[in-house]
Amino acid sequence: MNSNALRIAIPSKGALEKPTLELFVNIGLKVNRPNDRQYVASIPALPAVEVIFQRAADIYTKVHEGSVDIGITGYDVVCEEDKNDGKVIVAYPELGYGKCSLVLAVPDSWVDVVSIEDLAELTLQWKEQNRILRIVTKYQNLTRDWLFAHRIVNFALVDAKGAMEAAPSMGYADMIADVTSTGTTLRENRLKPLHGGTILKSQTCLIANKHALRHDRAKREITQTILELIEASLMAKNFTSITANVQGTSVEEIGKNLTMSPELQEVTGLQGPTIAKVYSDNRPDWYAVTVVIPESQLLPAIQHLRRVGGTDITVFPPRYVFRSHCESSQKLLEMLE
């Protein structure tokens, strides 16, 4: 183990492993893992980084205790395990995958319970009968705090053993609080999420040990590099690059035609179109126009380019979009202060 290396924990097995490895490929930092049974890997592009594969549920703890410096795990895990002592910071909150919701769900057969208000009334009715609502969950802190905040207090949390969704039908709990992305597992186990009962919306995030990054400049700088690449790569997903050949008498004329009204701003690039002369012996009046625009504006932009005489339009996805500064890197420095 290289003690000066930045140690980064990424999820091993489970739903988050594959998309996390893909994320690193996308930002040009492919993780080199000799074989699936090894828990330590490297990133050839960043020699001062050591990758440790961990269960997503353990990554928060590892970052908190400082045995790894940064980690990638679900925001749900971070909120649930949060020790509230400021040792762990969320350096990049939304990596765009692993999206899920922590929901309260009751058996389908509870036809009288549809919303969180129904549940609240049921707990009060049970309190009168000295009965307590048993909720099975791996997210005890989040569930308890959320129910308390909604003035529901007559419940007991049951430790999750094995397949939690089966607990209500097996009888050791009355209902569950668990994460779901599509709702299929809930439906298959005859459970229904309660209206107004979403405790947390989550996705994968990047967390860091505050102490490690604050006191080790090298580790901080590598983390900033990673953040910079992630931010630019995720930003690029929202944009598309279009190049078209446009006939005209001058750069100014084409520029004017393209940007003649302010509402065209969205389809004429981040700062405006780039216009360059096309070299052609027999046709001297052709220009190449390139614009980088939000993905959602693709077709309006193409229509607009056609209107000003554009043809041979090609579209490329940009790999990165770097802005004048990296927002997440700057936020990291603020959080470390």
Partner 1 sequence: MPHLGIDRAEGMLDFWGEECRQRHLVRYQLIETFQRFGYSLVELPLVEKTELYLRKSGEDIVAQIYDFVYHNRRLCLRPDVTTSVIRAYLKHFPVGSVQRFCYGGTVFRHEPTTNHHQFTQMGVELIGSNRPIADAEVIYTACAGLAKIGMANYSLVLGHIGILQQFLRKLNLSDRLVGILLAGMELLHQEGGKQKLENQLRENYLTKPETQQLAEVFGVMDEVSAREFILELLSSLRIEINGNRDPQEIADRLLSKLKHRDQTHKVLKAIEFMERLVQLRGQPQEVLPTAQELLNEYEIDPQPLRELNQILQILTAFYGQDHLPSYLSLDLGLTRGLQYYTGTIFALLDQRGNHLGGGGRYDDLVFTLGGNCATPATGFSLNLEMVCQALPPPTHPIISVSMTPPKPELIHATIEIAQQLRELLPVHMALEDSVPAGTFMISVAGQNQCHLIDRRTELTYDLSVPQLLEFIANQL
- SS3 call for 6: strand
CB of 307 to partner 1, least distance (A): 47
Which residue's CB is nearer to partner 1, number 113 or number 179?
Answer: 113
CA dist 175 and 204 (Å) reads 26
Under the criterion CB under 8 A, does residue 2 sit at the interface with partner 1? no
Q: Restricting to residues 246-275, name those near partner 1 by CB under 8 A.
A: none
Radius of gyration of the CA atoms of the chain, in A: 26
Under the criterion CB under 8 A, does residue 171 sit at the interface with partner 1? yes
Under the criterion CB under 8 A, does residue 124 sit at the interface with partner 1? yes
Pick from 1, 223, 202, 244: nearest CA to 103: 202
Under the criterion CB under 8 A, does residue 107 sit at the interface with partner 1? yes
Name the one range near partner 1 by CB under 8 A: 20-28, 35-43, 164-172, 311-319.
Answer: 164-172
Name the one range near partner 1 by CB under 8 A: 18-26, 114-122, 241-249, 281-289.
Answer: 114-122
Under the criterion CB under 8 A, does residue 154 sit at the interface with partner 1? yes
Under the criterion CB under 8 A, does residue 168 sit at the interface with partner 1? yes
Query: At a CB cut-off of 8 Å and minimum separation 6, what does 253 contact?
Result: none
| H or E segment and range at residue 53 | strand 49-54
Name the one range near partner 1 by CB under 8 A: 56-64, 119-127, 263-271, 279-287.
Answer: 119-127
Contact 133, 156 (CB under 8 A): yes
Which residue's CB is nearer to partner 1, number 149 or number 299?
Answer: 149
CA quadruple 91, 92, 97, 103: dihedral, nearest 10: 70
Which residue's CB is nearer to partner 1, number 112 or number 337?
Answer: 112
CA dist 210 and 90 (Å) reads 9
Under the criterion CB under 8 A, does residue 148 sit at the interface with partner 1? yes
Residue of the chain from 37, 85, 261, 325 that contacts partner 1 (CB under 8 A): 85
Name the one range near partner 1 by CB under 8 A: 9-17, 68-76, 111-119, 290-298.
Answer: 111-119
CB of 174 to partner 1, least distance (A): 5
Pick from 28, 74, 73: nearest CA to 53: 73
CA dist 64 and 86 (Å) reads 9
Q: What burial letters (b/e) apply to 198-229, b meaning 16+ CB within 10 Å? A: ebbebbbbbbbbbebbbebeebbebbbbbbbb
Distances (CA, A) of 190 to 106, 107, 177, 232, 257: 9, 6, 14, 43, 60
Under the criterion CB under 8 A, does residue 174 sit at the interface with partner 1? yes
Under the criterion CB under 8 A, does residue 110 sit at the interface with partner 1? yes
What does the binding site for partner 1 look like in residue numbers (CB under 8 A)?
Answer: 84-85, 106-113, 115, 117-118, 120-122, 124-125, 127, 132, 148-149, 151-154, 156, 168-169, 171, 174, 196, 215
